[in-house]
Amino acid sequence: MATTGSIRFQNLVQMIVGLLGGLGIFLLGMEFSEEGLKKAAGDKMKAVLSTLTSNRFMGLLMGIAATALLQSSSASTVMLVGFVEATAMNLAQAIGVILGAKIGTTVTAQIIAFNLSRYALILVASGVLLRSIGKKKKTRRIGEIILGFGMIFFGLGVMSDAMRPLRAIPQFAQWLVHLDNSPVLGMLIATAFTALVQSSAATIGLAIALCTGDVLTLSAALPIAFGAHIGTCATALLASIGSGRAGKQVAVAHLLISILGVAIAFPFLKYFVAASKWMTSGMGSESVARELANGHMLFTIATGLLLLPLIHPIRRFTERLIPQKEGLAPFKPQYLNETALNIPVVALDLAHREIVRLTAIVRSMLRDIMPLLETPSHQAVNEMEKEDDKVDILEKSIRPYLARVAQGEIEEVLISREHAFVDLVQDLEGIGDLITRELARSSKKLDRHNVTFSPEGLAELKRYHKALMTKFDKICDAIRQLDHHLASEILSDVETDRALARILKHNHLERLNTFQKMTVETSAYHLAVLNNMRAISERIDNMARAIVNELK
């Protein structure tokens, strides 16, 4: 008896080790394939998701396409958080894409259900080979994706083999009967497990492995897919903790959609089971794993289409749950999203939007400095210093964010973009300092000594300031559009700008030689203003060079 008990204990340990080991290999494979696909398809996903449309069916299709590219609804949701916070997409559009993303995840289950475990080691070997000897990044990423899928199928095979003997254990067989009769229990377990591992594909993959090992029936497995549908929302909810109101709304809308979808489908579970079996039989297969993949697909498509007309009611309910906070919020970045750092192309897009916002603040400061030099005001100087504080806040947020984007392995074109953005931020912050620490200081001194520029001197400063504003408006457009042509136009006028500065300085010195009282009194301030405006002009030239040289 002791020997028999010892053997049973050893078998149980082997099954547990096999299950956990197989699951670990599976999850690692998911991570490899997802990272490879992020790097390979991230730009395409961004292009798909950022295509704005008010058509809810197009939003649904965009969600399907983007998630099918990456095999991760979590990554799609992270992008949506960024786009909604950046006002590139509204909440209603995001909800349509989320519905599509739910359908897109079924592609993963369909691939896993092919049961390619016998070819898993071939895929692993091929993936390692390409990843090791590939000279191009594209080749190494393809290797990473193949390696990931090989590990996924190998992990599934290990789990299936480990779980087969469980059918022979009477207590486990009774528990499975209980699970068949209590689909809510299976759904709750799957929800908790998915929230823990933060991967619906892992939960569904485990269910497919159990089906392949003849451990689970379809009636017990399909509720697990329902639970995974809800549990995957944990990733977006956790990611939204550090985001703004828009990010939290996207995460909550994701959860509402998942709960509503399951609530609609659960009463019709037996019909989904029957439809899945019928569909799989029509495909010439009797595989329970394939039945589960088909059932999961039917469930997401049916609930997605049923919820599509309810996008606006869901949006309104979400906005009530996460309302706009009353009172003036402290100034901070609007678009930088921590979770987007996993997808560099999206993170850089968000950083670009924050830079555009920074540019607008600096422009307003530059616009307002000339009236302040003409009519000095202590209160106006204080207001301008507050604007410069905003510039400093954004600069101190954007630069570290860009540094974190560059830490991972990213495309050369994205590295160049990151470098250009760092240069732009540095020059914008430098212009802000020149305005507040130099030009505004000249205004203070004029006020303190109760002197004003001569009419001729003031007219010339206004002339230079007007030219400077025209130039800054052009760099604003170049930054917003990342336009090489506009940046090149700025650089082609460099000599003209310098000539104007020389002419205006010469005119001032000519007046100074005539010993005009107002000119003499304000000469030091006049030359300081000219020099600082010329320094601002040179900063604009630097930004134009960054766009031309780095953003190829």
Instruction: Count, in order, helices (H) and strands (E) of the chain.
Output: 24, 0
Which one, of 149, 109, 95, 111, lies nearest residue 298 by Cα? 109
CB-hemisphere CA count at 13 Å for 120? 21
User: Domains in the chain and their CATH numbers?
Assistant: 12-165+173-321 (no CATH), 338-550 (1.20.58.220)
Closest CA to 430 of 539, 288, 529: 539
Contact 15, 141 (CB under 8 A): no
Q: What is the dihedral of CA 86, 91, 95, 100, to 10 degrees?
A: -30
- Provide the pLDDT for residue 428: 96
In angstroms, rounded to a whole number, what is the distance separating the alpha carbons of residues 476 and 487? 10
Dihedral angle over CA of 299, 301, 303, 308, nearest 10: 170
Whole-number pLDDT of residue 537: 94
Largest pairwise CA distance in the chain: 118
CB 300 within 8 A of CB 106: yes
Alpha-helical runs (H) found in 377-493: 378-405, 412-433, 440-448, 455-481, 484-492
Find the angle CA(40)-CA(46)-CA(49) to the nearest 5 degrees.
130
Sequence-ordered alpha helix ranges (H) in 182-284: 183-197, 200-212, 218-231, 233-239, 245-265, 269-282
Would you tell me the crossing angle of helices 120-133 and 137-163 to the nearest 10 degrees? 160
71 CA to centre of own chain: 16
Fill in the DSSP letter of residue 437. Answer: I
Q: Let me know: does 15 contact 162? Beta carbons within 8 Å.
A: yes
User: What pLDDT was estimated at residue 2?
Assistant: 47
The CA radius of gyration of the chain, in Å to the nearest whole number, is: 31
The structure's pTM equals: 0.68
**b/e map of 58-68 (b: 16 or more CB within 10 Å)?**
bbbbbbbbbbb
CA dist 289 and 204 (Å) reads 10
Dihedral sign for Cα atoms in the order 409, 410, 412, 418: negative
Q: How many CB atoms lie within 10 A of CB 82?
A: 29
Rounded CA-CA distance 497/534 in Å is 8
Angle at 261 between CA 50 and CA 265, to 5 degrees: 145
pLDDT at 166: 61
CB 289 within 8 A of CB 113: yes
Digit-by-digit pLDDT tens for the chain (552 residues) are 445 555 566 666 777 787 778 778 877 877 776 666 666 555 555 555 555 455 566 667 766 766 655 555 666 666 666 666 656 567 887 888 888 878 877 877 777 777 777 778 888 888 888 888 867 777 777 888 788 878 877 877 777 677 666 656 656 656 666 667 788 888 898 888 888 877 777 788 788 877 877 777 888 889 988 998 898 888 777 767 666 777 788 888 889 999 999 999 999 999 999 999 999 998 888 888 889 989 999 999 999 889 988 988 998 999 888 886 655 567 888 888 776 777 787 788 889 989 999 999 999 999 999 998 888 888 888 888 899 999 999 999 999 999 988 776 677 778 888 999 999 999 999 999 999 988 888 888 877 878 788 788 889 889 999 999 999 999 999 999 988 899 999 999 889 888 988 998 888 787 777 776 676 677 788 888 899 999 999 999 999 999 998 876
Q: Is 227 in contact with 200 (CB distance < 8 Å)? A: no
Cα separation of 30 and 61, whole Å? Answer: 24
Q: Which are the contacts of 278, defined by CB distance < 8 A and separation ≥ 6?
A: none
The C-alpha atoms of residue 192 and residue 179 are separated, in whole angstroms, by 16
